[in-house]
Amino acid sequence: MSQIFALLDCNNFFVSCERVFNPSLRNKPVVVLSNNDGCVISRSNEAKALGIPMGAPYFKCREIFERERIFVYSANFVLYGDISGRVMQTASEFTSELEIYSIDEAFLIWDGTHQNCLNNAQIVRERVKRDTGMPVSIGVAPTKTLAKAANYIAKKKSIDGVFCLLDEKTIEEWLGKTPVGEIWGIGHSKADFLKRHGILTALQLRDMPDAWIKQNLTVISLKTVWELRGIPCISPQDNRDDKKAITTSRTFAKEATNIDELYEPIAAYIANASEKLRSQRSVCGYVQVYLMTNRFKKETYYANSAGIDLTPPTAYTPDLINAAHKLVKSIYKEGCGYKKAGVILSNLQSQLSSQDFLFDESYQRSKKQKLMDVVDSWNNRHNTSKMFLAAEGMAQDWYNQAHKSKRFTTRWDELLEIICD
């Protein structure tokens, strides 16, 4: 049976989280800085309009921030993780299958007979906004790559934040207007290569012959092209080169009914995700775990997620497993049959840029990295017999974040205070 994919993507997610608890930031330029106040990782539309680039280093922008009265926040991943969980939980009520893709994106999978996709997407968008305060855009299409493109169009062109690429004519018209570099899976270098060959739009890429794609790009790019033609071929297990987050999740064949049955797959997902993390020379500053029971058993349905800040950021598997297991414990509810679980590693930073942690324990200087290098090279050479490690203690909170908001939803002593006079 054919499926329809609705990609829900939170608008300027980190900034929008800050605005939920501080409405005076609405309509004002706001930026959120990475761990240790390194560089800009989220911008409000007003900050974008002032020309603040993504990734701009804080020390270089300080002057313009002051001159333009831009509100600056340190990343508060505990808060963002909680809001993310609320958004996903709300969205999960509108689909039998929710595929969480990153901290702020998820695919709602609808069966192909689903009528009124536009209307349904509008309802989801309104409900998420009302229940969680989070503004989202939704792109609807017959493949994930087209849904991503539809979401891009929704963000740029539509007034209500929803856009459908469902009929052939609309698809053709809009792919013709979408730059090839905006297509999911086409990174900077591929986009530059395509431009040199005169391929500027997504439509031109879609209409290139398979043989040319195979010869000049990769097999994965061929999947992208097929998806642009409306043939779904990207599964959750496909590793897309996305720098925002690394996600691993599975639907269990048999429901997990005790916590030990969850520890093992979660550890395996972390091992898998952290290997990807290290292969792109990154460390992660935030780990999130989610659990879901069977959607079709309405009366017992339970879905929850929890996350934790990792300071300093790490790519060390045992630290990550330890953190993930604590998270599982915190949201595990007795008496549920869990059908799906997953982990999301986010707040990714390159191992190089995170060297502004002048601490001995920081991951990239430590024995831990050497150990992981040994493990990864062993695992690369011995694909069948992987090397595993036992867990170790977690890092502590000790580095500088000067502009951090409160953890409004996870600490009793940091609740939102409302002046009532």
Partner 1 sequence: MHLPFYQGPLRAGFPSAADDYLDQRLDLNEHLITHPASTFFVKVKGDSMINAGIHSGDMLIVDRSIEPKSRNIVVAVINGEFTVKRLLKSKGICQLSPENPDYPLINITDAMDFEIWGIVLHVIHSF
Chain residues in the site for partner 1 (CB under 8 A): 23-26, 85-86, 89-90, 127, 130-133, 304, 408-409, 415-421
Q: Which lies closer to partner 1 via its Cβ, residue 20 or residue 228? A: 20
Q: Is 393 helix (H, G, I), strand (E, B) or coil?
A: coil
DSSP single-letter state for residue 155: H
What count of Cα atoms within 13 Å lies in the side-chain half-sphere of residue 42? 25
Q: Which lies closer to partner 1 via its Cβ, residue 253 or residue 420? A: 420
**Cβ 303 to partner 1 shortest distance, Å:** 9
**Cβ 104 to partner 1 shortest distance, Å:** 15
**Cβ 93 to partner 1 shortest distance, Å:** 9
Nearest to 335 by CA among 254, 250, 265, 255: 255
**Cβ 149 to partner 1 shortest distance, Å:** 29
Q: Which lies closer to partner 1 via its Cβ, residue 360 or residue 417? A: 417
Amino acid sitting at position 134: M
β-strands 303-314, 71-74: how paired? unpaired
Q: Which lies closer to partner 1 via its Cβ, residue 128 or residue 270? A: 128
Nearest to 80 by CA among 285, 259, 339, 249: 285
In whole angstroms, how far apart are CA 180 and each of 152, 225, 358?
Answer: 12, 11, 40
**Cβ 90 to partner 1 shortest distance, Å:** 5
Q: Is 306 helix (H, G, I), strand (E, B) or coil?
A: strand
Retrieve residue 359's tokens.
Answer: 């601490």
**Cβ 333 to partner 1 shortest distance, Å:** 11
Q: Helix H segments across 58-158? A: 58-67, 77-91, 117-132, 144-156
Q: Which lies closer to partner 1 via its Cβ, residue 246 or residue 303? A: 303
In whole angstroms, how far apart are CA 20 and each of 17, 23, 87, 418?
Answer: 5, 6, 13, 13
Q: Which lies closer to partner 1 via its Cβ, residue 17 or residue 271? A: 17
In whole angstroms, how far apart are CA 311 and each of 108, 198, 243, 342, 359?
Answer: 32, 45, 19, 22, 11
HEC string of 337-378 equals CEEEEEEEEEEEEECCHHHHCCCCCCHHHCHHHHHHHHHHHH
Q: Which lies closer to partner 1 via its Cβ, residue 25 or residue 31? A: 25
Maximal CA-CA distance, the chain: 70
Whole-angstrom distance, CA of residue 250 vs CA of residue 265: 9
Q: Which lies closer to partner 1 via its Cβ, residue 126 or residue 356? A: 126
β-strands 338-350, 3-10: how paired? unpaired
**Cβ 415 to partner 1 shortest distance, Å:** 5
**Cβ 111 to partner 1 shortest distance, Å:** 24
For 158, counting Cβ atoms within 10 Å of its Cβ (0-12 exposed, 13-18 middle, 19+ buried), the class is middle
**Cβ 117 to partner 1 shortest distance, Å:** 23
Q: Which lies closer to partner 1 via its Cβ, residue 132 or residue 294? A: 132
**Cβ 403 to partner 1 shortest distance, Å:** 19
**Cβ 79 to partner 1 shortest distance, Å:** 12
Whole-angstrom distance, CA of residue 236 vs CA of residue 249: 8
Give one DSSP letter per residue of 185-239, joined into a string: T--HHHHHHHHHTT--BHHHHHTS-HHHHHHHS-HHHHHHHHHHTT-----TTS-
Nearest to 112 by CA among 232, 250, 9: 232
Q: Which lies closer to partner 1 via its Cβ, residue 85 or residue 313? A: 85
Q: Which lies closer to partner 1 via its Cβ, residue 45 or residue 216? A: 45
